[in-house]
Amino acid sequence: MSDQGTRDRLLELVRKNSRLDLRDVADDQVLNFDLGYDSAALLNLMLDIEDAFGIEIPPEKVPELVGISFGQLVEKVAGAVAGTGDLAAGGEDG
């Protein structure tokens, strides 16, 4: 998936899981402050991201996602999909 494809898919998921009616989402908007995310919505978003992109977000990484911007989320997910980011689980099974 291209970076634009990743961004577009994440935009759909962010809109779907937000408590707000989001029309435009800017890269600098923060999930929990600007985009209406509480802890339950953030957890649902992470589960949807795992399903949509075929990645695993280790539980210890979830707190790092609190307070990040949409642009940072796009970068992290794109890196995880490419296998180069810090969001992806390690190569160990289990």
pLDDT tens digits in sequence order for the chain, 94 residues long: 678 899 999 999 999 999 898 888 999 999 999 998 998 999 999 999 999 999 998 888 888 888 999 999 999 999 999 887 767 544 433 3
Q: How far apart are CA 7 and CA 44, in angstroms?
A: 18
Q: Which residues pair with 69 in a beta bridge?
A: 30
Compute the chain's Rg from CA coordinates: 12
Where residue 49 sits, what CATH number does that domain have?
Answer: 1.10.1200.10
pLDDT at 84: 78
pTM for this predicted structure: 0.85
Q: Which residue range(s) make up the domain with 46?
A: 3-80
pLDDT at 63: 85
Whether 75 is covered by a domain: the verdict is yes
Whether 63 is covered by a domain: the verdict is yes
- Give the helix/strand (H/E) hosting 53: helix 39-53
Whether 51 is covered by a domain: the verdict is yes
CA 14 centroid distance within chain: 8
If one counts the domains in the chain, the total is 1
